[in-house]
Chain A
């Protein structure tokens, strides 16, 4: 049960998808994490877990370049953020941060993925439209392309934003809390879909606070709490010790053959008289 650090010789030869060195980030005088060094290999499907307000979103924004770190370097594919070509990162924001009353359809949301390109005409080109339709078909939202975003379900919204992130064939896909705000079935479906996307060679990095979803879908977890606690395969990482250090408090891990379930609090003991 060792935590495997990603500093193999391989990753020294090929630049990592994401590489942070001695990064300190915060807001004004408030430091969120200090001197963080972290590497995420190409082709990885990794989930960052940790308690609320531990800096997961800040870490993602630092990687995405929308939050400037106070010190340290962030490299994507061995290049500084300013040097990487547009469209190489796909980003799916947290659904809770979106204004659902905004007057756009699902199709317009997906088309936005192209809005950083050279084309200036407001209307989409044939190729753009075709690409959007293909993706929408693949993600199962073809039927609601013309629908107002406020009229779609959580799962459909999630896929619309996923499609937008995918239009430019990104090398790295970053998602903030994709398992929040959707029901358990949509959650399962979205993670399954991400698994398929990952198997096509796209590196995926997501945050979540749903440990069980990570345990059953993701090959790699990063335990984070204002700094790196541990990273590795869920079966190696999800130990009482590491989870307690990540979340504090009591965490119980129930293992049954290949399945395991993570619960908080103390177990309930039923007395004999109970049905």
Chain B
């Protein structure tokens, strides 16, 4: 078993892929936890498509892949912010308008210049072959920045995610928090694009976070779990994709989904077990009632 796991490590491309999927998986998990709590799943989906359009535009303008994707992602964030500010058009509609147009632009260009459609296959479906040291450097930088920023912004992020209106009253600049978070999300998406593919980024963001949510009711723990589960999912997906010779993004997403199912099943069985104990009269069901009576005494009302 160990040998089986160690064998592919002899190849440099595998090493690179493993490092990349580990970092991408972990960052996506961490950012994803906030994405689902802030109700921004569709933003993640949209931004990845906008970034793809940007990468294609960048390509025909002879720009760097990441520069094009980054510029377009940034533009999408700013446009979406601008459109929703007036309040007449809701967030999901604004995302639909902006990011689909940008994605369509990329698709239109590719269909016109068929010659390079192959170079974008990685961006669409993910590819862990041929990850350069430059890619790794960028992914490492993005992972480190997201981790640092999440740590530094933990307090305002938690408050504004939980209760935006109150956070503003208490003096948190919620608009800046939202903008910084959107930028981190864009960075993460761009760094992940070639690894998992545009089509799979939304799931890479959300699935480990959703699994983490099932495992804990504590915000900080949810972030840490999502980070770890994301990393594990990335590494396991990488191995499985090597073994079965399947697309890396799809494999990572499928592995993530299985973890989610497992976690859901565990919760379900646990709840059943607790309920059964209640019915059998073995449980400590008086616990909550006790809490309440003690609390009334303390209040002294």
Q: In the complex, which residues of chain B have a beta carbon less than 8 angstroms from the beta carbon of A27? A: 87
Determine if A86 and B217 form an interchain contact, defined as CB atoms under 8 angstroms apart.
no
A98 to B161, CA, bound (A): 11
Q: If the complex has contacts A103-B217, A103-B222, A104-B219, are A140 and B162 also in contact, measured as CB distance less than 8 A?
A: no
CB <8 Å contact, A108 and B219 = yes
Q: Digit string of A2-23 for contact with B (CB within 8 Å is 1, else 0)? A: 0000000000000000000000
Shortest A109–chain B CB gap in Å is: 8
Once the chains bind, are B170 and A86 in contact (CB under 8 Å)? Answer: yes
Q: Is the CB of A89 within 8 A of B162?
A: no
Contacts of B37 in A (CB 8 A): 102-103
Segment at the interface with A among B147-155, B229-237, B256-264? B147-155
Q: Tell me which residues from 39 to 96 in chain A have a Cβ below 8 Å from any Cβ of chain B.
A: 61, 64-66, 86-87, 89, 91, 93
- Indicate if the CB atoms of A140 and B295 lie closer than 8 Å: yes
Q: How far is the CA of A148 from the CA of B219 in the complex (A)?
A: 10
Residues of chain A with a CB closer than 8 A to B296's CB: 140
Across-interface contacts of A102 in B (CB, < 8 A): 37, 161-162, 219
Contact between B155 and A120 (Cβ–Cβ < 8 Å)?
Answer: yes
Q: B298: nearest residue on chain A (CB-CB)?
A: A140
A129 interfacial contact with B, CB 8 Å = no
Cα separation A192 to B300 with both chains bound (whole Å): 11
Residues in B with CB closer than 8 Å to A116 are: 156, 159, 170-172
Q: Does A119 contact B (CB under 8 A)?
A: yes
- How far, in whole Å, are A139 and B222 apart by their CA atoms in the complex? 29
Closest to A156 in B: B295
| B179 proximal to A (CB < 8 A) | no
With both chains docked as a complex, state the minimum distance between the C-beta of B130 and any C-beta of chain A, in angstroms: 38
Q: Are A115 and B170 in contact (CB under 8 A)?
A: yes
Contacts A115-B156, A120-B155, A122-B151 hold; do A65 and B169 have CB atoms under 8 A apart?
Answer: yes
A residues within 8 A CB of B161?
A: 102
Q: Name the residue of chain A whose CB is nearest to the CB of B218.
A: A103
> Of A27, A103, A156, A189, which is in contact with the most chain B CB atoms at under 10 Å from its CB?
A103
Alpha-carbon distance between A156 and B156 when the two chains are bound, in angstroms:
24
Instruction: Please report the C-alpha to C-alpha distance between residue A156 and residue B37 in the assembled complex, in whole angstroms.
Output: 23
Known contacts A102-B37, A141-B295; is A87 also within 8 Å of B171 by CB? yes
B93 CB–A CB distance under 8 Å: no
Interfacial residues of chain B within 155-178, with CB under 8 A of chain A in the complex: 155-156, 158-159, 161-163, 165-172
Provide the residues of chain A in CB contact with B170, threshold 8 Å: 86-87, 91, 112-113, 115-116
What's the Cα separation between A109 and B217 when bound, in Å? Answer: 13
- Chain A, 114-129, CB within 8 A of any chain B CB: 114-116, 119-120, 122
Residues of B within 8 A of A144 (CB): 291, 295
A174 nearest CB across to chain B (Å): 8
Q: How far is the CB of B274 from chain A (nearest CB, A)?
A: 14
Q: Given contacts A156-B295, A193-B301, is CB(A115)–CB(B220) below 8 Å?
A: no
Q: Which residue of chain A is the closest to B221 with respect to CB atoms?
A: A103
Instruction: Please name all residues of chain B whose beta carbon is closer than 8 Å to the beta carbon of A164 when the two chains form the complex.
Output: 166
Q: Which of B88, B165, B166, B295 contacts A142 (CB 8 A)?
A: B295
Q: Are A112 and B159 in contact (CB under 8 A)?
A: yes
> Contact between A122 and B169 (Cβ–Cβ < 8 Å)?
no
Contact check, B169 vs A28: say whether CB atoms are below 8 A apart: no
Contacts of B299 in A (CB 8 A): 139-140, 189
CB distance from B37 to the nearest CB of A (A): 7
The answer to whether A143 and B298 touch (CB under 8 A), given A64-B169, A87-B170, A103-B216, is yes
Q: Does A105 contact B (CB under 8 A)?
A: yes
Residues of A within 8 A of B167 (CB): 112, 115
Q: Are A120 and B152 touching (Cβ within 8 A)?
A: yes
CA–CA, A156 and B299, complex, Å: 11
Q: Which residues of A contact B151 (CB under 8 A)?
A: 122
Judged by a CB distance under 8 angstroms, whether A240 is at the interface is no
Q: Are A148 and B171 in contact (CB under 8 A)?
A: no
Contacting pair A66 B216 (CB below 8 A):
no
B295-A143 in contact (CB<8A): yes
| Contact for B169 among A89, A103, A119, A156, CB less than 8 A | A89
Contact, CB under 8 Å: A143 / B291: yes
Query: How far apart are the CA atoms of A57 and B87 in the complex, in Å?
Result: 18
**Does B163 contact A137, Cβ atoms closer than 8 Å?**
no
Contacts of A104 in B (CB 8 A): 158, 162, 218-219
Residues 267-301 of B contacting A (Cβ, < 8 Å): 288, 291-292, 294-296, 298-301
For the complex, give the distance between the alpha carbons of A108 and B217 in Å: 12
The 8 A-B residue pairs with the shortest CB-CB distance, nearest first, are: A140-B299, A86-B171, A122-B154, A115-B155, A116-B171, A91-B169, A115-B159, A148-B217
Q: Give me 17 other A-B pairs in contact (C-beta within 8 A), A97-B163, A116-B171, A140-B295 excluded.
A: A28-B87, A28-B88, A65-B169, A93-B163, A103-B37, A103-B218, A104-B219, A112-B166, A115-B156, A115-B158, A115-B167, A116-B159, A120-B152, A122-B154, A122-B155, A143-B294, A189-B299
Instruction: Give me the interface of B with A, judged by CB distance under 8 Å.
Output: 37, 87-88, 151-152, 154-156, 158-159, 161-163, 165-172, 213, 216-220, 222, 288, 291-292, 294-296, 298-301
A-B contacts, 8 listed (Cβ < 8 Å): A87-B171, A102-B161, A108-B219, A112-B163, A116-B170, A119-B155, A142-B298, A143-B294
